[in-house]
Amino acid sequence: MKIETITLREIRMPLVHFFETSFGRVYSRRILLLTAGCEGVEGWGECVAGEDPFYSSEWIETAWSTIKEYLAPAILGRPLTAAHEVAGLMAKVRGHRMAKAAIENAAWDAEARQKQQPLWKLLGGTTREIQCGVSIGIQDSIEQLLDRIETELAAGYRRIKVKVKPGWDLNVLERIRSRWPDILLSCDANSAYRLDEVEHLRKFDRFELLMIEQPLWNDDIYYHARLQRELKTAICLDESIRHARDAAAALETGACRIVNVKVGRVGGFSEARKVHDVCQDNNVPVWCGGMLETGVGRAHNIALSTLQNFRLPGDVSASRRYWAEDIIEPEVVVSPQGTITVSDEPGTGYRIREDLIEKLAVRKETF
């Protein structure tokens, strides 16, 4: 196969409900979509870089210019035997993993369509049913948060994750646990704590959480290992895991007992599979994280979640939780049992609504 053209589009989509983490609140998303033109078929990818360089150093402007100036020139017109080879061609560029993932994932998408195979099978998936959880942001009041949790539990979701930060943590978890003593519950700090707060973090142990996600610095493994030794609750790393080597180092040092795999954060499907495999070899479960994706990225997260070691419910949930109208058809729906059944059709099994995307686009460039 050969990638002959790359088209970037920026679309703007308001969220149905704002999303707040320890680093801020978003009401509306700027999303970068990438189309790879490949011998008559098109592959689509979504770049999960945010509006700001807060979750990671990448944001949509760095992704756009890095793709334009470096990544697209490195792969356009090159003969490829399979999509995973794209990663090697882009390896000279350091970092910029979300930008790289948009290209590599579009290439996988194209390969699946070209071979008329379901993407999840091409990736090596083993199950047609994935387990879904939800990530619920910081709200204006605890009552509002409890209402949202009630709605999600009624919808069937199998795990509730709440965002925490100093001042919105023990008080919140206490109220959730007193109302729902037995639900699968976790929290995500997005790096809001420091190691000298270990006494405070130890108090999280009483809530029997499935995990505490990324309590310390976004680029740290070593101090998470120190912290994990002090906690009963399992640490799950998100931001800190940039590739399979980080995962190996985190497991070797005991920095976490669970890993969140985000295909954009690690640079694409091939590295995501390597992270998955390292964890599987160490008997550490993984789950699929989310980045408030549209249907394009969401469909890719669903395909990835079919791999064997995705043993915990992910942050992969229904389109309607985010968007009044998603850009794929059908939109992603979750069963009353909190599962998504993966399609056996070629590609992702979702059709891209190109007319709608064209209407939403505020910027477009083809290389």
Region binding ligand OSB by CB under 6 A among candidate stretches 6-14, 175-183, 287-295, 306-314: 287-295
Q: Please identify which residue in 289, 313, 314, 349 interacts with ligand OSB, judged by CB under 6 A.
A: 289
Torsion angle defined by CA atoms of residues 9, 10, 11 and 17, in that order, rounded to the nearest 10 degrees: 140
Regarding 313 and contact with ligand OSB (CB under 6 A), the answer is: no
Q: What is the CA radius of gyration of the chain?
A: 20
With CB atoms as reference, the residue minimizing the distance to ligand OSB is 290
Torsion angle defined by CA atoms of residues 103, 105, 106 and 110, in that order, rounded to the nearest 10 degrees: 140
* Alpha-helix residue ranges (DSSP H) falling in the chain: 60-66, 72-75, 85-89, 97-114, 119-122, 142-154, 170-179, 198-202, 222-230, 244-253, 269-281, 295-304, 354-360
Regarding 238 and contact with Mg ion (CB under 5 A), the answer is: yes
**Cβ of residue 239: shortest distance to ligand OSB, in angstroms?**
7
Binding mask 195-234 for Mg ion (x = CB under 5 A): ------------------x---------------------
Binding mask 125-164 for ligand OSB (x = CB under 6 A): ----------x-----------------------------
Binding mask 30-59 for ligand OSB (x = CB under 6 A): -------------------------x----
Cis-peptide into 330, omega within 30 deg: yes
H-run or E-run covering 342: none
Torsion angle defined by CA atoms of residues 306, 308, 310 and 316, in that order, rounded to the nearest 10 degrees: 10
Q: Hey, what are 334's tokens?
A: 């979750």
Catalytically annotated residues: 163, 262
Angle of helix 295-304 relative to helix 97-114, nearest 10 degrees, comes to 80
- Considering only CA atoms, which of 267, 279, 266 is closest in space to residue 234? 279
**Cβ of residue 148: shortest distance to Mg ion, in angstroms?**
18
Regarding 188 and contact with Mg ion (CB under 5 A), the answer is: yes
Q: Tell me if residue 331 falls in helix, strand or coil.
A: coil
**Cβ of residue 159: shortest distance to ligand OSB, in angstroms?**
12
Regarding 292 and contact with ligand OSB (CB under 6 A), the answer is: yes
**Cβ of residue 365: shortest distance to ligand OSB, in angstroms?**
25
108 binds, among Mg ion, ligand OSB, none (CB under 5 to 8 A by kind): none
**Footprint on this chain of ligand OSB (rule: CB under 6 A):** 21, 55, 135, 188, 190, 238, 289-292, 315
